[in-house]
C-alpha cells in the first residue's frame, strides 16, 4: 500500500479536511518533515550538502584500493586516473603532482595512439576480408 493511498484514506475519513486546512480535493496532505531532502535527517537545522549527481559513477568497486583526490576527495580506482584528474580539474599543483600529471598524460597519449593504430589495423583487415569474400563469391 503506497503512502499516497494511506494519506488519501486518512484525508477522506475526517470529512474532507486534511487536518492542516487542505481539503480532499487538493490531494493527499503530506507533512514536509525534511526526510529525503537531506543526507542526515537527524539535524534539520544544518543546510543539506549538495550531492554530486555523478557520485555513483565515482564509486570504486569493492575490494579495490581507492586513490582519493587530495583536493575534492573524489575516489579513483587507478592512481593514473587520479593524477590525470588533478592536472585537469585543479590548477594549484605542487611540483610532485605536476610531474605525476605529466607522466600520466604522456602514458594516456601513448595508450590512445596505440588504440588508434590497432583500430585502424582491424578496419583494414576487415575491409580486405570483405573484399576477398566478395571476389570469391561474386
* HEC string for 17-32: ECCCCCEHHHCCCCCC
pLDDT in tens, 79-111: 999 999 999 999 888 999 999 999 999 999 999
Measuring CA to CA, how many Å separate 94 from each of 32, 50, 84, 106, 108? Answer: 47, 28, 14, 18, 21
Facing residues of 17 across strands? 23
pLDDT at 118: 98
pLDDT at 35: 47
Amino acid at each position: 500500500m503506497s503512502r499516497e493511498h494511506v494519506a488519501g484514506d486518512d484525508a477522506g475519513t475526517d470529512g474532507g479536511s486534511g487536518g492542516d486546512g487542505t481539503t480532499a480535493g487538493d490531494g493527499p496532505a503530506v507533512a514536509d518533515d525534511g526526510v529525503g531532502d537531506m543526507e542526515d535527517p537527524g539535524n534539520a537545522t544544518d543546510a543539506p550538502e549538495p550531492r554530486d549527481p555523478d557520485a555513483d559513477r565515482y564509486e570504486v568497486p569493492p575490494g579495490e584500493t581507492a586513490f582519493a583526490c587530495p583536493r575534492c576527495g573524489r575516489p579513483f580506482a587507478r592512481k593514473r586516473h587520479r593524477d590525470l584528474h588533478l592536472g585537469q580539474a585543479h590548477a594549484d599543483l605542487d611540483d610532485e603532482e605536476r610531474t605525476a600529471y605529466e607522466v600520466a598524460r604522456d602514458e594516456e597519449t601513448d595508450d590512445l595512439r596505440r588504440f588508434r593504430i590497432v583500430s585502424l589495423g582491424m578496419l583494414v583487415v576487415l575491409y580486405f576480408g570483405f573484399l576477398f569474400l566478395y571476389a570469391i563469391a561474386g
